[in-house]
Amino acid sequence: MQTVLLWMPGGWEMLIIALFILVFFGAKKIPEIARGMGKGIREFKDATKEIKNEIDEGVKEEPKS
């Protein structure tokens, strides 16, 4: 667990990364990227819920004799 924490960026590193993203993509493009990431995460969550519901329904069904 400690090795994972060593690779986590600190405050200054996060600031540098944020500035790099701002310069590289521009202020107008960042909201579009964030919206796209949000939609992707939402679709992933919906898909996992759907799969979980299908599994739960399959477990609840009684086997046919």
Pair 40, 32: CB distance under 8 Å: no
pTM higher than the cut 0.85? no
Give the angle 5-8-21 at the CA atoms, nearest 5°.
170
Number of domains observed in the structure of the chain: 1
Pair 52, 59: CB distance under 8 Å: no
Q: Residue type for 63, please?
A: P
> pLDDT tens digits for the chain (65 residues)?
455 556 777 888 888 988 888 888 888 888 898 899 999 999 999 999 999 999 988 888 766 65
Query: What would you measure as the largest C-alpha separation in the chain, in angstroms?
Result: 66
In-domain check, residue 45: yes
In-domain check, residue 21: yes
Q: At which residue do the structure tokens 């329904």 appear?
A: 57
In-domain check, residue 65: no
